[in-house]
Structure 1
Amino acid sequence: MTGEAFESEPRTAAPGRPARRRLRHFPTVLVALALVALAAMWCTPWLDRDARNFITVPLLAGTVLLLGGWFLFCSGVAWRRRLVIVGGALSIVALLAVSFRLGGYTGDMRPKIVLRWTPKPDQRLSLPASQSAPRAGGTVVADLTQTTPYDYPQFLGPARLPILSNVTLAPDWKAQRPKLLWRQPIGGGWSAFAVVGQYAVTQEQRGDLEMVVCYEAQTGRVVWSHADAGRFSSVLGGDGPRATPTVYDGKIYVQSPRGALTCLDGADGSVVWSHDLLDEHGTHNLQWGRSGSPLVVDDLVIVSAGGTAGRSLVAYQAQRGILAWSAGNDVSSYSSPALATLCGIRQVVVVNQDWVVGHRLSDGQPLWRETWPGNSGSNASASQPVAVGGDRLFLSKGYGIGCELLTLSSDGTDALAAHVLWQRPMLMRTKLTNVVLRDDHVYGLSQGVLECVELARGRRRWKQGRYGHGQILLVGDLILIMAETGEVALVEASPAQYRELGRFQALDGKTWNNPALAGPYLLVRNAEEAACYQLPLSRPVIGVGQAEMRGDQPGS
């Protein structure tokens, strides 16, 4: 009897063992499947690098959680040991969660982890103090009515395209080094500088204040600042303003990330007029904040409001702020309205959430529209449309869409028709940046790598040089690159080959902001610091702060 009882005990425990045997290879199979999925994803050519990084994190996290669940419920290890190991792991995770926070992402969707109690850089800054001599009445003077041929008065420059033809940079930065004039902390945001005369204006976030600040361009001294209560925050997109000020006829036009369109007096930053675009046009904010820089043309201030019922694109009288016209029904994107002449008609071309539309300048009425895939809460559009010749338009974006070339035709009336000449999903995948055109070739940062594409056939000439999701500016026959890492590089704009001529570290930290070049003065910034460098020139310029600025002065 004793022997029979002894032999019967294993039979009562047997039902649980086959299940454990069936699952004993689960970890190996799970890890193998995860590795296969990662390999397949990273070998998929049409999937952007940021999408790969974004998918990799939850895939690895899910794998770890499943392995943890298997260990806890199916591993066969003694329960006390399982609970101790799992409890210890959860304690470590909890400690890390309490000690660290997500500090943002790079353009490739790589997360940045920072200590939880570390304040954001802009929260450590005090309010800027005006340092120029006051005028009568106690306000300070900045004469933004005095212009020069080398001003950079708005987003992407004087022509609202990142192209300058009146400055000739010296190509050898080893023989003639860029000279640092000033470098200092600045408030948060992705706004760029608008430069007119001696002054540089930008938007920034300091604590709970959205600010417009006027600096002396060559010294970095604050002339005046304007502040509004509010703070826009986004884990993916960062904090603070996104748009760049537009300086026009001595006044400054800005759009806040929360949709406030404001006109300021350039002399002292006082408010001339202001509108709440979201409230007035019955729309809502975008997931990553309003980033459209105001277009000022023919005494009209034009912005994308994104409202329905004829309130998508709106124009206000520049001097008085009275609504001049509104039109369209499309949701806004993160692009800015652009001025173009297509088929002989001056028009405002705007990339919306999922359409690109040409509006008649005089009254805003749509002249043509073409689909352009996107969603302002996911695969957003941020790159500017670029007119090519008199009847073509180049479009580009990231998120696997790539680029396409449109041609427009007219039937003799104002109505135009758009047709796609070619589409290239694998080329010019610009996510946060814009392209430049030179000699029938287009250059841009495609997935963070500089690329040259032949415009006529949509054929890649070369793709080389990783600069991240930075910004570019064509200066003559040279491409000035503001890399995402804060470096500034100089590259030949030649379809024959990629050739970098020089580079230097201009800023530290993630830099998505566009550079501004006024004569020899390069003003750069990111969400933490700003700087001004004097670049060497091959030809002198006259009328930029001094009587004459020669190219041999920097580094001397």
Structure 2
Amino acid sequence: MEDQQEGTPEPQTGGTKVDSTAPTKKLANRWRRAAIAAIVGSGLIATIWAGGDDSDHQYANMAMFVVGAIALIYVALQIHLIALRRGFRYLVPAMVGVVIGGAMSLFRFDGFSGEMMPQFASRFQQPLELATVGPVTEDSAEISAGDSPMVPSPESISEADVSGFLGNQRDAVIDQRLFSVPDSASDITTLWNQGIGQGWSSFAVEDGRAVTLEQRQDQECLTCYQLLDGELLWIQEHEGRHENALGGIGPRSTPTIDDGRVYAQTGTGWVWCTDLESGKVIWTVDLLEIAGWDQLQSEALITWGRAGSPLIVDGMCVLPLGGPAVDSAPAAGSEPSVSAKRSLIALDAETGDIIWRAGDGQISYASPTLMTLAGQRQIVSVNEATVTGHAIDDGRVLWDFVWPGQSNGGANCASAIPAGPDRFVIGKGYGGGSALVSVEADGDAFKATPVWESSSVLKTKFTHACIAGDVAYAISNGSLEAVDVATGESLWRQPRSERLGQGQLMLVGDVLVAQAETGQVVFLDAIADHYQPLLTLPAMDSKTWNIPTVAGRHLLVRNDRQVICFLMPAK
């Protein structure tokens, strides 16, 4: 009532003297309240921001947004009441409308960063043109390898084979570095730079062909580009679309090349096997149909789309399967029913026929990995809330390790990475941490136990650790970090002013190739005792969650709208 009657003079009664300074005091009080709210809000935001490195930047950003919004609304309300007192009833609403309207006319919402910061893009920015399959022209036929310094030699192309996700061994490590890191980015050649469909897939490369997955309108596409010049050689399409406000649009796994064939899974569970040279389809499988649910049901539990990259082992194509929740547990001593086995599925690599299904844990966003643990070759699967080891011949579970997560919440995204004999490292974002796990024979069975667990190091959200000797490197909570594998002790961490955000990392020989979330590529010395950046290469200018592909001297980087192929100087 006080606020509604500020403009009404108080009546004089019984000779009582009216305080003529009361309205002025009320205005001063409102200014004081607005100032206090702004100061307190700013202080809380600064405190939360300062603690982001030690907690989780996503949760810190969300807390800062809530605090900032409350403080801003309160300050705006106080200013509005002051304006009402002065007779400017519509001043604050008009100012808010002009600011919001102006921003909306200039910018469009472009999703969220990996740390829950809203992203915006200019409404006037034109997208790059997508490549289409077309006939070979006389001009393109005249270009051959070695004709100019801008074109790679046949030798560099033959050295550029990368079978798929995280390199040939699925450990984010390429042993031999064939390129040098120059002093200036101008010494790196851009072979081609063009548009690409949406998605967070990376490339597999063989015989001068680079294959990836992308979304074009309502079609999930498996595409093959010529490494030499970016020409689209062939495309396979499947009607389907994964879309999520937080995770974006399109496929998120990486194809695998094996024995002249390409194996790929889309964001909706469609699996292709095609011929690498021609793109001809050999077989297809719908994992949702096999699992017995539809896309809506699947994405209620696996919210950000299927991200598992095919693992080819012993003539099988192994993938995370997923499936509806099991209503009841199997009786003691009995095996789960076939329909309850949903952690992994093995398909015949030649025909696509089902060989086995195994594991009752819901799937995560990680990809299966081949390891030798306790003397046995096995498939290691990071599931929604566990890590499991599986026999290759029939998929039976050899051991399990509890690794909490929720595939429609604080999800597990990082695959297990080998870390020496009988050990692997696993990491997690969303306020999680990491563990070094040892697998040992226990009679006729196996047992997985933690060597160490930590909530402060190797907090890999979308990315993975890469290990060189006794040191693990990773983008942890958005900052590059080196950790002693044996003890879990942090050796160094990237300065906060140079954070990479939720980007990606590969280790190539003695050089770390880091893809920053904001688009640039950073080359760093892989040394244990201190942080040593070598070069920053400008690349994309928008959110990039895709793993960089290092294929010989070629560096392929892409995001959900642009792809660039760089040729690095020879070593």
TM-score tier, shorter chain, comes to: 0.7 to 0.9
The aligned counterpart of 1:109 is 116
User: 2:415 matched to 1:408?
Assistant: no
CA contact (8 A) 2:341 2:357 kept: yes
What are the within-5 Å matches in structure 2 for residues 352-367 of structure 1?
A: 352-367=383-398
| Aligned-pair CA distance for 1:290 | 1.3
Counterpart-to-counterpart distance in 1, 2:422 and 2:348? 29
Counterpart-to-counterpart distance in 2, 1:97 and 1:507? 24
CA contact (8 A) 2:203 2:211 kept: yes
- State the TM-score, normalized to the length of structure 1: 0.84
- Alignment CA distance shift 1:492-1:130 (3 Å): same
User: 2:493 matched to 1:486?
Assistant: no
RMSD across aligned positions (CA): 3.2
Equivalent of 1:262 in 261, 265, 272: 272
Counterpart-to-counterpart distance in 2, 1:517 and 1:228? 28
User: 2:187 matched to 1:180?
Assistant: no
Query: 3-state DSSP class of the match of 1:512?
Result: coil
| Aligned-pair CA distance for 1:178 | 2.6
CA contact (8 A) 2:413 2:463 kept: yes
Counterpart-to-counterpart distance in 1, 2:79 and 2:276? 66
| Aligned-pair CA distance for 1:118 | 6.8
The aligned counterpart of 2:287 is 277
The aligned counterpart of 2:64 is 56
Query: 3-state DSSP class of the match of 1:63?
Result: helix
Query: 3-state DSSP class of the match of 1:50?
Result: helix
The aligned counterpart of 2:308 is 292
| Aligned-pair CA distance for 1:166 | 3.3
| Aligned-pair CA distance for 1:86 | 3.2
Counterpart-to-counterpart distance in 1, 2:400 and 2:437? 11
- Alignment CA distance shift 1:50-1:348 (3 Å): same
Q: Which amino acid counterpart does residue 320 of structure 1 have in structure 2? A: T
Counterpart-to-counterpart distance in 2, 1:6 and 1:492? 81
Counterpart-to-counterpart distance in 2, 1:88 and 1:486? 35
CA contact (8 A) 1:131 1:223 kept: no
Q: Single out whichever of 60-69 and 470-479 deviates more from structure 2.
A: 60-69
- Alignment CA distance shift 1:22-1:95 (3 Å): closer
The aligned counterpart of 1:459 is 489
Counterpart-to-counterpart distance in 2, 1:102 and 1:175? 31
The aligned counterpart of 2:544 is 511
The aligned counterpart of 2:216 is 206
- State the TM-score, normalized to the length of structure 2: 0.82
Counterpart-to-counterpart distance in 2, 1:534 and 1:96? 39
- Alignment CA distance shift 1:324-1:30 (3 Å): same
| Aligned-pair CA distance for 1:278 | 2.1
| Aligned-pair CA distance for 1:170 | 2.6
- Alignment CA distance shift 1:169-1:117 (3 Å): closer
Q: Which amino acid counterpart does residue 419 of structure 1 have in structure 2? A: T
The aligned counterpart of 1:549 is none
Query: 3-state DSSP class of the match of 2:243?
Result: coil
CA contact (8 A) 2:110 2:119 kept: yes
| Aligned-pair CA distance for 1:182 | 2.0
Query: 3-state DSSP class of the match of 1:7?
Result: coil
Counterpart-to-counterpart distance in 2, 1:477 and 1:117? 42
- Alignment CA distance shift 1:508-1:79 (3 Å): closer
Q: Percent of aligned positions with the same letter in both sequences?
A: 34
Q: Which amino acid counterpart does residue 293 of structure 1 have in structure 2? A: S
Counterpart-to-counterpart distance in 2, 1:175 and 1:274? 42
The aligned counterpart of 1:349 is 380
CA contact (8 A) 1:336 1:384 kept: yes
Counterpart-to-counterpart distance in 2, 1:509 and 1:337? 29
- Alignment CA distance shift 1:8-1:153 (3 Å): farther
| Aligned-pair CA distance for 1:95 | 6.1
The aligned counterpart of 1:419 is 449
| Aligned-pair CA distance for 1:168 | 3.8
Residues 180-223 of structure 1, C-alpha deviations (whole Å, 9 max, x = no match): 22222222211111001121111112223221111111221111
What are the within-5 Å matches in structure 2 for residues 497-536 of structure 1?
A: 497-536=530-569
The aligned counterpart of 1:383 is 414
Equivalent of 1:42 in 31, 43, 49: 49
Residues 32-73 of structure 1, C-alpha deviations (whole Å, 9 max, x = no match): 44334323322335322222223222322233234445566x
Counterpart-to-counterpart distance in 2, 1:87 and 1:173? 52
Query: 3-state DSSP class of the match of 1:41?
Result: helix
| Aligned-pair CA distance for 1:116 | 6.0
CA contact (8 A) 1:445 1:469 kept: yes
User: 2:477 matched to 1:436?
Assistant: no
| Aligned-pair CA distance for 1:452 | 0.8
CA contact (8 A) 1:170 1:176 kept: no
CA contact (8 A) 2:342 2:362 kept: no
Counterpart-to-counterpart distance in 2, 1:131 and 1:447? 47
Counterpart-to-counterpart distance in 1, 2:451 and 2:552? 37
Q: Single out whichever of 211-220 and 376-385 deviates more from structure 2.
A: 376-385
CA contact (8 A) 2:213 2:254 kept: yes
Unpaired runs of 5+ residues, structure 2, are 1-10, 138-156, 326-339
How many residues of Structure 1 are paired with residues of Structure 2 in the alignment? 515
| Aligned-pair CA distance for 1:333 | 1.5
- Alignment CA distance shift 1:22-1:486 (3 Å): closer
| Aligned-pair CA distance for 1:379 | 2.0
Q: Which amino acid counterpart does residue 231 of structure 1 have in structure 2? A: R
Q: Single out whichever of 516-525 and 434-443 deviates more from structure 2.
A: 516-525
CA contact (8 A) 1:151 1:195 kept: yes
Query: 3-state DSSP class of the match of 1:468?
Result: coil
Counterpart-to-counterpart distance in 1, 2:433 and 2:479? 13
Q: Which amino acid counterpart does residue 128 of structure 1 have in structure 2? A: T
Counterpart-to-counterpart distance in 1, 2:519 and 2:112? 15
| Aligned-pair CA distance for 1:90 | 4.6
Counterpart-to-counterpart distance in 2, 1:7 and 1:451? 74
CA contact (8 A) 2:129 2:194 kept: no
